[in-house]
Amino acid sequence: METLREMVSAGAVKSATILGQKGGYIVLASIRMQDRPLATKFGEVRMFASTDTAVEALRDAGLARFTLDVTNYQEGLLRAPRPDVRKRAQEATAALEHTRWMRDQVAPVLERVKSGVAALRGHDDVWSRVEAHARTRLAERAASPKAAPARRASRPKR
């Protein structure tokens, strides 16, 4: 794409054709009196899954005018389906939904902190308060008189 962009900006490419093929589209750039296909960085002919992606590539390269030839287009899959990609996309969507939910939960608390109604406390501060409260409760229990549980008289051993 970078090479095409440079050639368009240099004026070497004046037009292009999006050509329908089996399962996709290729782009032919008109360079001097020849039509040359757009290629990948590995030298293979670049196939586009839809006209939208081909149009976007040409627009990004700086070409605003082109022709579309769907004479030989045949519907089909350009690539085999990838269930692993689908699963990753579903997991990413679930993670995004969780993030949104979490932000919705945190936003009201942050607003309360911002307005001065509430304050955030550090981890160490919270735990020291919890431990102090626990010590106080334990001391209260130890100091309160409890009725000792009644014990049964033990039988003499024979």
If you count them, how many residues does the chain have?
158
| First and final C-alpha spacing in the chain | 102
Report how far residue 19's alpha carbon sits from residue 21's, in angstroms, rounded to the nearest whole number: 6
The gap from C-alpha 74 to its chain's centroid, in whole angstroms, comes to: 33
pLDDT digits (tens, 9 = 90+) for 111-137: 999 999 988 889 999 999 999 999 999
What does pLDDT average to over the chain? 85
Question: In sequence order, what are the residues at sequence separation of 6 or more whose Cβ sits closer than 8 angstroms to the Cβ of residue 81?
Answer: none
Residues 12-20, mean pLDDT to the nearest whole number: 87
- DSSP characters for 21-44? EBTEEEEEEEETTEEEE-B-TTSS
Please give the C-alpha separations between residue 13 and each of 25, 38, 64, 70, 112, in angstroms, as whole numbers.
19, 12, 12, 22, 60
